[in-house]
Structure 1
């Protein structure tokens, strides 16, 4: 949850009609709503919260102001959506509403299979949500201990929730930024562990019953990015690719301080002994060189956290596809906020360090339809997709470069209005880039298109792959199987219909396949 700012409070009756589209859509609402990335039907959305899987259904909760398209931090809710496959989502009524104790800020949810909380009724597994209460009355009075941690439980798979009568379960010790609890079951120690964002570092707590919490340790004072407040943490175990060795990954979102401005997500790799998170020695050397290790180098992936209880021990994350630099100004009318494509993460180790790879979940393939496949010998400028071949407002494109040389390889998404999004790889400077300065509507905030986003590479490449996930108003680039990722949004006045590739070198070969995404 972002640092608090004042917003206009608009009184409204907001529970009715959330499952119906607005009768008076503006052209912007029609033009800019994604085809298959989740968005609220109306109102404001930011951080994903309370992610879990149970009995064939994925649950996505999120920070939600139902009655206006800018955040009301004094009356924040948890919104709710469900999916059978992580791709096609159905929005439900708001799940947890603000009350006299405060607004409902970010947090997590766990499937309490053993009923450690005692909330179960003998028939239904309790789902326990852990969230931050934010007390606006205290904030307006100038007090700093405005945030505390609370819980609620559900016995009907997250449809309805009962708040614990003895909330809060973790009181504020006198700290201004004290929020966003991410809780998981530590099976080895038979305890629940809470990671909490506290100013610009991480605190850990433990509990046997989700009600009584004990402080364990602190991490992060001297490591990683500190350009802004830390938010929305996540700690989880993961196997190193090709081994049986287990490491722990700590994701910490930061605002501001991102690599290309505004909010972003960083991560750390190490070990967790049930009390303390300690960075791995190889990762420590890597961090000294890189200073910050970023999950996504684009400007529009924030608050990425993972789902609880996913089958086959997969680790799936999803983020808010926006940036606090301009999120309240994007030109989408009566709704604001969208989610990234859900991504499966894996951990790769090389002699240089660790990479938390992330690629789109495999379920996206189930929606792939018509395919266009081509092999291209690059000379200068080549049109890869012509208008009418593939609808580029809902497509996945796989590109395989062979025999690359030093030079710049530039893709361009274009429409008939001359608008474009430019992206690619600069083998001279050893970096990826996205340029949305000519992408259409950009003047709603002066820092939306004030720079070209860049992601450094460790070397120039002779061979490389791109997976490009396109929606109406977004691009997600997964370079070399997700070793480097960039996510950005844009707002063209007409959907992009052509894709070209140009280079200032000769001799390279490109094999690519574009798949239509068929989803309604």
Structure 2
């Protein structure tokens, strides 16, 4: 499995050892936020913030890739390129199946992209103004045309912080809804339209906690989910990128649960005024998950999300070449009652689950460790793997595994449950290269109650990342790592007591993939 078919041989200073197998990356250059992902006629489309000219932020355009399974991606030419008059920031693509815009036909519905234009000094608009623009495609996303009115939505007075339109069809009202942000306010602004080209204000949302000097809200996504699968208990989720003040430092993805009546989003169960980041609900508790967005047009009732796997604290300094930036694994979302309140739960998309099921697994059920480390045998060696674990801690203070570890254990990413603190931690302090930025944080922890000492973990390991899920997916931790090529082992451990790994299944995913 490869991000792109037949990648060229590595050149000097390139880092193929960190090119992910499961996660999308462009062949070269800078990538950040996902934009406008959608599913149409059996094909998944992914757009993203892209610099077509260099592996650093700038010249913002929309890159484009397609897939039939969200695992094998084909990179296309730039969809929406920057120009002398404007850069292209984040946004949404929708399938206008009823041709409400009049930009296609009912037999051949147009694809409509709403995105943020950042106007430059020589544009007809004031320099640095951000406003919402529109482009459309009549050939299933192969080519795009700019709408004659540009922009279609501007704040009054114009703002340099008005961006990131997230658009969806609101069935009860028979109209489109757009969620945008005034990033530095911070504030979410909701608009409505019957034709995607003319927009009127519905309401504002915010600020609601996490308001500190310099904080920004970005990339809003508003969507419904049934609580515990019950369609009569429909809740609405508002996901936002928060930067800085993420729960693990730098940028992160937060969510609010509440209601939406077609005009106003009302959150519920908010922490008390002045609460810190840990009191809020986060899509991911690791350091490298930002700008989460939902795929449009999926036939299934449960939405799928994808995010940018990086952090604004050090994204420009990660040691990958000739690319910088990658996507998270697509995750299916559900809303479940956990600890007496609704929580967003993520699980890997069914295509990934099928991929794992198609590979032979190694089982280490019933393994007992008493105050020791134990290296899994040679057949469990690899750089890309799926690991399913259930631990029973019988007196141990801490237990877990090292992944992408060397035989001597001097290098590895440590995933540890602390019984006394009731916390799950990903420790990447000895994961490989860590010194490229002083802001590359080392440890990320989250509360995971396990009073009986039983902990279940699902760990997805790629060539330069670790994703850990627990508690039915209500806890997710995503972290980049940059290990040496020989760090291919898995090591279990139990500290100050006995731990039984009652279930442990390791599936290697980097063998026989081509």
Fold match (TM-score > 0.5): yes
* C-alpha spacing 1:138/1:324, structure 2 compared with 1 (3 Å): farther
Q: Over aligned residues, Cα RMSD in angstroms?
A: 2.4
Partner of 1:202: 188
Q: Distance in 1 between matches of 2:33 and 2:434?
A: 23
Partner of 2:348: 360
The TM-score, its normalising length taken from structure 1, stands at: 0.90
What do residues 355-413 of structure 1 show as CA deviations (whole Å, max 9, x unaligned)?
Answer: 101111121122221210012122122435333x1343111000012355562113212
Q: Distance in 1 between matches of 2:86 and 2:120?
A: 7
Partner of 2:208: 222
The question of whether the paired residues in 2 share the 8 Å contact of 1:172 and 1:178 is answered with: yes
Q: Distance in 1 between matches of 2:418 and 2:429?
A: 18
Within the alignment, does 1:146 sit opposite 2:138 as a pair? no
Partner of 1:298: 286
Partner of 2:219: 232
The question of whether the paired residues in 1 share the 8 Å contact of 2:381 and 2:490 is answered with: no
Partner of 1:82: 66
Partner of 2:236: 248
Within the alignment, does 1:484 sit opposite 2:475 as a pair? yes
The question of whether the paired residues in 2 share the 8 Å contact of 1:48 and 1:303 is answered with: yes
Partner of 1:425: 417
**Structure 2: runs of 5 or more not aligned:** none
The question of whether the paired residues in 2 share the 8 Å contact of 1:225 and 1:292 is answered with: no
The question of whether the paired residues in 2 share the 8 Å contact of 1:392 and 1:471 is answered with: no
The question of whether the paired residues in 2 share the 8 Å contact of 1:392 and 1:472 is answered with: no
Q: Distance in 1 between matches of 2:274 and 2:101?
A: 39
Partner of 2:336: 348
The TM-score, its normalising length taken from structure 2, stands at: 0.91
The question of whether the paired residues in 2 share the 8 Å contact of 1:112 and 1:126 is answered with: yes
Q: Distance in 1 between matches of 2:452 and 2:154?
A: 52
Partner of 2:170: 186
1:301-312, aligned counterparts within 5 Å?
301-312=289-300
* C-alpha spacing 1:286/1:401, structure 2 compared with 1 (3 Å): farther
Q: Distance in 1 between matches of 2:394 and 2:94?
A: 47
* C-alpha spacing 1:29/1:479, structure 2 compared with 1 (3 Å): same
The question of whether the paired residues in 1 share the 8 Å contact of 2:182 and 2:188 is answered with: yes
The question of whether the paired residues in 2 share the 8 Å contact of 1:111 and 1:125 is answered with: yes
Question: Cα distance, 1:505 vs. partner?
Answer: 4.3
1:400 to 354, 373, 390: 390
1:499 aligned counterpart, secondary structure: strand
Q: Distance in 2 between matches of 1:273 and 1:129?
A: 25
Partner of 1:38: 24
* C-alpha spacing 1:180/1:402, structure 2 compared with 1 (3 Å): same
Greater mean deviation of Cα atoms: 352-361 or 263-272: 352-361
* C-alpha spacing 1:79/1:391, structure 2 compared with 1 (3 Å): farther
1:44-443, aligned counterparts within 5 Å?
44-72=30-58, 75-137=59-121, 146-173=129-156, 174-199=158-183, 200-224=186-210, 226=212, 228-244=215-231, 245-280=233-268, 282=269, 291-350=279-338, 352-368=340-356, 369-375=359-365, 376-383=367-374, 385-387=376-378, 389-405=379-395, 407-413=397-403, 414-416=405-407, 418-443=410-435
2:300 aligned counterpart, secondary structure: helix
Question: Cα distance, 1:446 vs. partner?
Answer: 1.4
**How many residues of Structure 1 are paired with residues of Structure 2 in the alignment?**
496
Partner of 1:8: none
Within the alignment, does 1:515 sit opposite 2:507 as a pair? yes
2:20 aligned counterpart, secondary structure: coil
Q: Distance in 2 between matches of 1:161 and 1:249?
A: 31
Question: Cα distance, 1:509 vs. partner?
Answer: 1.9
Question: Cα distance, 1:66 vs. partner?
Answer: 1.6
Partner of 2:464: 473
* C-alpha spacing 1:93/1:379, structure 2 compared with 1 (3 Å): same
Question: Cα distance, 1:242 vs. partner?
Answer: 4.3
**Structure 1: runs of 5 or more not aligned:** 1-17
* C-alpha spacing 1:265/1:479, structure 2 compared with 1 (3 Å): same
Greater mean deviation of Cα atoms: 419-428 or 224-233: 224-233
Question: Cα distance, 1:458 vs. partner?
Answer: 4.5
* C-alpha spacing 1:285/1:432, structure 2 compared with 1 (3 Å): same
The question of whether the paired residues in 1 share the 8 Å contact of 2:396 and 2:499 is answered with: no
Question: Cα distance, 1:28 vs. partner?
Answer: 4.0
Q: Distance in 1 between matches of 2:51 and 2:107?
A: 33
Question: Cα distance, 1:493 vs. partner?
Answer: 2.2
1:481 aligned counterpart, secondary structure: helix
